[in-house]
Structure 1
Amino acid sequence: MLLEYGSIDLDLTRGQAEVVQRTGFVDVRPLTGGRWRLTAKSYVGSLVADGIELLIRPKINPENLFLLLEPGLPPAAWRQEAFDYDTSSDLLPSVIAFFARTVETTLGRGVLRSYQARQESLVALRGRVDVVGQVNRAGVLTPVACMYDEFSDDIFENRVLKAAIRLALRVPRVDAVDRRRLMRQLVALESVADAAVRLEAVDAVPMTRLNQHYAPALGLARLVLANLTLTDVRGGTPASSFMVDMNDLFQRFVTERLRRALRGRLEVVDEPTVHLGLGNRVAMQPDLVFRDTAGAVRFVGDVKYKLADDARGRSDDYYQLLAYTTAMDLPEGMLIYCRRADGRNQSTVTVKHSGKRLVARAIDLSGSPAEVEHEILLLAGAIAEASAR
């Protein structure tokens, strides 16, 4: 076991070292005597590769890892999973348990249904005649080519949940109670088609008042589909790898929480394309752009999970933020970091000649979930105040 960005020395064969290196989740460097130094990066979780199993834990409070995993759930939803993870050091079974309980709560409100367009050839007319389809039948009167809308649960949201549930059921070491939960959920979704799911399509699902209660379950389903891989290690024993990028997780968490906290005051747009040069040259994608109710851009932010070793913002991060503020003609922008090692929560750099203000602000993830929520509210208030200047 090791912590994110930490190192461990292991006896490995060259083949094992190469397999682990190819995963891209850790850096591998040779030492003397057949030993290798493995250094974790921003990924945490369980990594299984060629007979090697690594448990990489984040440095943050275990409760807050689950807070980052899925915005929008009450503390009671993750309390037990955080405890299990804290004692077992194995993230994967706890995440599957978290996912199973979230889906159970979601489907407990009823399986989501909506009208879906269908085209079928039927003995009796249903809906309206598919004129093009009927003409192509070369004079055959029956069956009739029909077009109709059916109120069905075979919709994309349910296909996402079903795909993630099937993958979760293949994970070993999941508690029997949670495995039974997942099996019951498959039964509830039995009329939903098994289909391949693209992560980009999950991200693009529009949330409305009708499907808003699906948002937490869809978020966790995406996490499972994106990060869980299944492999067979030596001896035919199934094992699972589940690696989560803390950079991506932290950015998604901050984006969602700010969107909620600033609703009605500022619109939070994640990763829009802007251009530094005239003629739409040099495309860039800031993490966060804040617009007022009239649609005008008022502020820009970039989310960075890790500070430099000296607990200061990296120079490259400041250069990037300066480019964003210049491209959008803004007087100020903000770098949003995880906790600073020196205890400071905000610092400001004023750029020579232009007077632009580059603010670095930290969110402390070492406290309780309630304390983290309070810091998000303070961050939202600082952004709202700066955007009004």
Structure 2
Amino acid sequence: MTHLCAHEWGRVAVHNGTGPALERAFTRSQANALLLAARSHPLANRSGTNILVDRYTEIGAQQVVGVIAAPGCSLEILPKIDATSDENDETIRTRLVSMLDVALGLKLGDGQALAMARQKETLLDILIRLFADRLLAEARRGLPRAYMAQEENLAALRGRLDVIQQFTHNAVRPDRLACRFDTLMPDTPLLRVMKACVLMLRRHARVLATQRSLDELRFLLAEVSDVPVTALPWAQVRIDRTNRRWETLYGLAKLFLKREWQRTNHDAKAGQGITLLFAMNDLFEAYIAALARRALLGSDLTVHSQGGLRYCLMEEGDGGKERFQTTPDILIKRNGQVVMVIDTKWKLIGRNPEDKKRGVSQSDVYQMMAYARLYQCREVMLLYPHHASLGSEALDAGYGMMEGDERLRIASVDLVAGKRAVEQQLEGLIAPSTVT
């Protein structure tokens, strides 16, 4: 099994069969298998070049992070916004796990996330171990059960008699009674999802301790029916007060099985691997939105992600339709009124004194001006990750819009400082600017 690690926009060597073999390189067949997995992934464009690019002697990663797997090989892609940083992979992986914890609501403690990320395991190994450990702890406490309808021929009456069944199939068997009754059983839609996830992950777990946990789970879930991934009863799963402690586990199972926004892809037919990829733009947006909610908790401000949905234009004439719908990343509201629009950008922002535009895209500025008018708010912000070239202080620059009182702010948040520090930065950026 060949496993290599790269960073966003990084490259990994490919040995094409000529010259001496390289120690850290994929063979051409392995590279082709990874490229095929990239093309078949839900996140991919038609050619898969927004995930991996084939340059013959190497393959290049794009702006996604996670693990992409194929038979006999896997490639882990880690985020790295600052090319000049000398952080090691364990530190970067720790930060990625922390971002996923917040964005996906995994409810990891800081100490647990740090310990897991430093085990020199891939992101996929970490998430599989997290799922196995948590599910095993809950299963040992007791499986959630529900009354299930049963039909069985018994020697004594149990429940109620199925008259039609009794006088047709059991007409010549007076010693048998066709009974219908309810039994408290663990074979629920929720646990069928859990068992399917356990069986699938057991094929891909590489750590011995995780394999043992998954084997124990297979034993504990022996009474639960085996259901193929393609036939799982997602619509029948109900999270209520009786199984609320399983909610996070159910979210993790969807992460592995259901291809949610996280863009997980599992080849159920071939059984050849599991690919877990996250678009960094989406992940950064979800991370900032979640921490903004924490930062503004208790205030009169509320945070709404991927909302708004107002249209820019209306066709002229009778029955004209609205066109060009907008979906701002984050809306800050007070009493239902938008007071700030934030658009997150996972890209480098400059502080070159010679560049008066600070490297901001002109199209991004036009977009924010449109948001200011459509949502009738005075404050709009482009928010970037901080990097060393910006200096020790986070960026916070304001620009007044011509012919109006709206203001565009260009700011950065330091992700290296940790979740609590990011919350404080966001509170400082949002709260003072929304004072009426």
Q: Please classify the TM superposition score into its range, dividing by the shorter chain length.
A: 0.7 to 0.9
Query: Residues 279-294 of structure 1 correspond to what in structure 2 (within 5 A)?
Result: 280-292=322-334, 294=335
**Residue 100 of structure 1 corresponds to which residue in structure 2?**
132
- For structure 2, list consecutive stretches of 5 or more residues without a partner in the other structure: 18-27, 39-47, 81-90, 165-176, 315-320, 352-357
Deviation of 1:329 after TM superposition, in Å, equals 0.9
Percent sequence identity over aligned pairs: 25
Answer whether contact 2:128 2:205 (CA < 8 A) is retained. no
Q: Name the CA distance, whole Å, in 2 between partners of 1:336 and 1:188.
A: 47
Answer whether contact 2:339 2:379 (CA < 8 A) is retained. no
Deviation of 1:143 after TM superposition, in Å, equals 7.9
2:398 to 348, 356, 374: 348
Q: Does 1:28 align with 2:26?
A: no
Larger Rg: 2
Q: Does 1:320 align with 2:367?
A: yes
Moved more, 301-310 or 373-382: 301-310
Deviation of 1:382 after TM superposition, in Å, equals 3.0
**Residue 78 of structure 2 corresponds to which residue in structure 1?**
57
Q: Name the CA distance, whole Å, in 2 between partners of 1:254 and 1:156.
A: 33
1:176 to 208, 224, 229: 208
Query: Residues 216-231 of structure 1 correspond to what in structure 2 (within 5 A)?
Result: 216-225=248-257, 226=259, 227-229=264-266
Q: Does 1:166 align with 2:199?
A: yes
Answer whether contact 2:94 2:117 (CA < 8 A) is retained. yes
Q: State the Cα deviation string for residues 248-277 of structure 1 (Å, max 9, x = none).
A: 333332223333333343332221252233
What residue identity is the alignment partner of 1:281? R
Q: 1:5 to 1:297 in 2, by over 3 A?
A: same
Answer whether contact 1:258 1:268 (CA < 8 A) is retained. yes
**Residue 83 of structure 2 corresponds to which residue in structure 1?**
none
Q: Name the CA distance, whole Å, in 1 between partners of 2:189 and 2:290.
A: 22
Answer whether contact 1:307 1:313 (CA < 8 A) is retained. no
- For structure 1, list consecutive stretches of 5 or more residues without a partner in the other structure: 128-133, 135-141
TM-score by length of 2: 0.66
SS of the residue 2:397 aligns to? strand
Q: Does 1:69 align with 2:100?
A: yes
Q: State the Cα deviation string for residues 219-261 of structure 1 (Å, max 9, x = none).
A: 433333332535999xxx9655443333333333222333333
**Residue 3 of structure 1 corresponds to which residue in structure 2?**
7
Answer whether contact 2:53 2:61 (CA < 8 A) is retained. no
Q: Name the CA distance, whole Å, in 1 between partners of 2:238 and 2:340.
A: 24
Q: State the Cα deviation string for residues 37-90 of structure 1 (Å, max 9, x = none).
A: 4221122233334766433233363222111222332113222211113xx5x3
Q: 1:168 to 1:28 in 2, by over 3 A?
A: same
Deviation of 1:176 after TM superposition, in Å, equals 2.0
Matched residue count: 360
Q: Does 1:259 align with 2:290?
A: no
Q: 1:16 to 1:93 in 2, by over 3 A?
A: closer
Q: Name the CA distance, whole Å, in 2 between partners of 1:202 and 1:260.
A: 30
SS of the residue 2:118 aligns to? helix
Q: 1:339 to 1:12 in 2, by over 3 A?
A: farther
Q: Name the CA distance, whole Å, in 1 between partners of 2:239 and 2:344.
A: 24
Q: Does 1:47 align with 2:72?
A: no
SS of the residue 1:378 aligns to? helix
Deviation of 1:10 after TM superposition, in Å, equals 2.6
Answer whether contact 1:275 1:281 (CA < 8 A) is retained. no
Deviation of 1:366 after TM superposition, in Å, equals 2.3
Q: 1:47 to 1:197 in 2, by over 3 A?
A: closer
Query: Residues 64-143 of structure 1 correspond to what in structure 2 (within 5 A)?
Result: 64-71=95-102, 72-85=107-120, 88=121, 90-107=122-139, 110-112=142-144
Q: Does 1:301 align with 2:342?
A: yes
SS of the residue 1:272 aligns to? coil
